[in-house]
Amino acid sequence: MHFISVAFVLGVLHQVAAAPAPLFGINLGTGSSSDATPTPVSQDDITNNLLRPALFSRAVYCSTEAVEKWACGDSCDALPNVKVLAAGGDDGLIPRFLVAHDADEDTIVVAHQGTDPKNFLSDLNDLKFAQVGANKTVLPAAGDDIKMHDGFAYAQSRTADIVLSTVQSALESTGSKKILVTGHSLGAAIASIDAMMLKTRLDQNLSLSAVVFGLPRVGNQAWADFVDQTLGSSFTHVTNQNDPVPRVPPQSLQFQHPSNEIHITSVDSAGNIATAESCPGQENSHCSDGFDILDFSIDNHRGPYFHNVSMGNKFCTL
């Protein structure tokens, strides 16, 4: 089963088709764009920097009960020595989430579930394209010019308090100085807002990294610039071939990606070896922003991304 619904894709294409500019590989909006040449990403970089976040992003799709016990089959077995500190969500209005201590890396991990068509409420979250101002309780440093996707902002706000308080107590109880925030699809959007919340509200001496997969556009140009200025190279968003989700909401509706995209250009037939490149600047025309939106692949959104990691409830083996 594809885990973005047909209704979602049709809604996306309707919005893009209504844009006043040509579609094919052209920046539809007024935000920044880049045509700088991408550089190759090594297999070592994929393994060392992207694999562990991807495994957590996969595991958080599993049931809360299984995640709390860290007994969700292959998704949990791939990450030994993890202690879950908080988990919740209902696979719908509140997407699943976890906060855990990864003892092998001495890192506090926050992960959020993405979209699955088995729950229509998750699709509704994705299909709201209106913008709202930043929630100043969540992001007190956000300027008035920052506008965000209302569904993503609201979804993040539902778990913001428990995520923040659990991370704060975990840092104190474990002595860890590192935080990883990750997620896929809708979970990537929530995770990116979480990363900004944690970075701006916790001790600035902490090391925080955010690695997200299949990220839709979360906010406007001011939001993208805010992410770049606040997180810099500690934020990475991974796109997979012709995945349509990173292309929505469209730039014509004043949405913009931040910098630091890593774009997967191909994956071998076994799903293990990915060819990827680092894309300079925002909305690089050589990467996800450059492919024809009508040539999309829902399978690319699910994966595999690399090391045979695909995302979705169906990959929870227990």
User: What amino acid occupies position 170?
Assistant: A
Measured CA distances, 7 to 34, 253, 287 (Å): 31, 20, 26
- List for the chain the helix, strand, coil content (%; round to 5): 40, 20, 40
* Low pLDDT (below 50) residues in the chain: 1-10, 13-14, 17-28, 117-122, 124
pLDDT number for residue 166 = 98
Q: How far apart are CA 235 and CA 192, in angstroms?
A: 8
pLDDT number for residue 18 = 47
54 close to 309: Cβ distance less than 8 angstroms: yes
pLDDT number for residue 296 = 86
pLDDT number for residue 129 = 76
Torsion of CA 262, 266, 272, 273, to 10 degrees: -80
pLDDT number for residue 19 = 47
pTM over 0.85: yes
* Catalytic residue list contains 225: no
pLDDT number for residue 115 = 78
Q: Which two three-digit tokens encode residue 301?
A: 């959104």
pLDDT number for residue 20 = 44
Q: How far apart are CA 207 and CA 87, in angstroms?
A: 23
Domain residue spans in the chain?
A: 39-315
* Catalytic residue list contains 203: no
Around 103, how many Cα atoms within 13 Å sit in the side-chain half-sphere? 7
Measured CA distances, 268 to 246, 303, 304, 306 (Å): 22, 12, 9, 9
DSSP state of 252: G
In the set 185, 192, 209, 288, the catalytic residue is 185
In the set 32, 243, 288, 310, the catalytic residue is 243
CATH architecture assignment, domain 39-315: 3-Layer(aba) Sandwich (3.40)
